[in-house]
Structure 1
């Protein structure tokens, strides 16, 4: 019977395999025995999962202990997060864009708030009205327009006053004066 002899370490220059007749002294072993008896190599660690790109998450906590977020990334539920902007308790529940330091899912970083998830904000401040019981003061930076049907009074910041309407009546119980650099009638 022929047996295969294995000498050296697999994968090295000294590894040799040869076939010969089985000897009585038992020095030679079968190929199967050689594979089973060889020292095992340490198991290779699998690379940690990486998160590429930007993910969408939710602020779940903010305060003295830091910012916490959750996202649809494996094992990312209410974990501490780095942040590039101020996140307060008022922001809990808001949708945020998340990046990950080195692609590590356990190191989320809040990059910013997702604006579409918020109610739309007015671009202009609301009109201001002061009513003290004797007079009404309306302030605007550009123009105030009062309308009723086809009639309108427009006050502009540059000092123009415009009266518009189908019929305009000016009435005074005392003297009525019209002053101006020039006065045009018709």
Structure 2
């Protein structure tokens, strides 16, 4: 596990920016870094903040309008166009992948631009890519260049294949990592900065 100077895991703020301008952010503990990338854990009860520039919203991470649950994120090393999230067994959605570009990667803040394609795997084993309509809309609106669209499609195809084949890191070891992080007893992260301040 990675440790901050204070002795516990460092806290990282993760910021998601939409092509149409909306933003959301949450925080996570940096629990490991290995050949796959940086592993971040967000405990149940943590807060997600979002804004469209006019109105702000707040909810539980991995909860929506319900109580939140633990989640684990993998931020791959630079050069990859994705970010993956694992959910606890109580969720039908097992793994989701954000196809994205990196805006900022610092020690305490990671910001990414959502390219709208979202490969996922359910607990049932079903694998698919969602938000194809949103991807088409941002392309039609000229918000995504042809080169970035090709990168997004290539990354989504790779992610979908990897999920189907349960190729590492999308295998059972990451579920074990999530369970281990949950046993650390880390408190929820609720002092989340406003997305426009990042």
Fold conserved between structures, TM > 0.5: no
**Bigger Rg, structure 1 or 2:** 1
Larger helix proportion of the pair = 2
TM bucket, shorter chain: under 0.3
Q: Which one has more relative contact order, counting CA pairs under 8 Å at least 6 apart?
A: 2
